[in-house]
């Protein structure tokens, strides 16, 4: 990763790697997410502490058991 990619990873928590998945693989992954969307649980613990800038309206969606 170059410095810009490292910075964006630090800010967003993910990195886009174009061409890593074929169109078919991406379609299958999206269908799996849609199929299991009822299993998304919202994490209610706040990581914002007292920062209004980091505070959100909902917690992060978690599908922690999808890959097991």
- Contacts of residue 8, Cβ cutoff 8 Å, sequence gap at least 6: 15
What is the full per-residue pLDDT of the chain (68 aa) written as tens digits?
Answer: 899 999 999 998 899 899 999 999 999 999 988 998 888 888 776 677 778 887 777 777 888 776 66
pTM summary value:
0.56
**How many angstroms separate the CA atoms of 14 and 36, rounded?**
21
pLDDT on residue 68: 63
Cα-based torsion angle of the residue sequence 31, 37, 43, 47 in order, rounded to the nearest 10 degrees: 40
pLDDT on residue 22: 97
**48's tokens:** 């914002």
């Amino acid at each position: 990763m170059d410095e810009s990619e490292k910075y964006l990873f630090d800010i967003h928590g993910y990195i886009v790697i174009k061409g890593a998945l074929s169109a078919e693989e991406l379609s299958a992954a999206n269908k799996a997410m849609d199929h299991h969307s009822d299993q998304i649980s919202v994490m209610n613990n706040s990581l914002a502490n007292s920062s209004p800038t980091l505070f959100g309206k909902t917690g992060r969606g978690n599908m922690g058991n999808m890959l097991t």
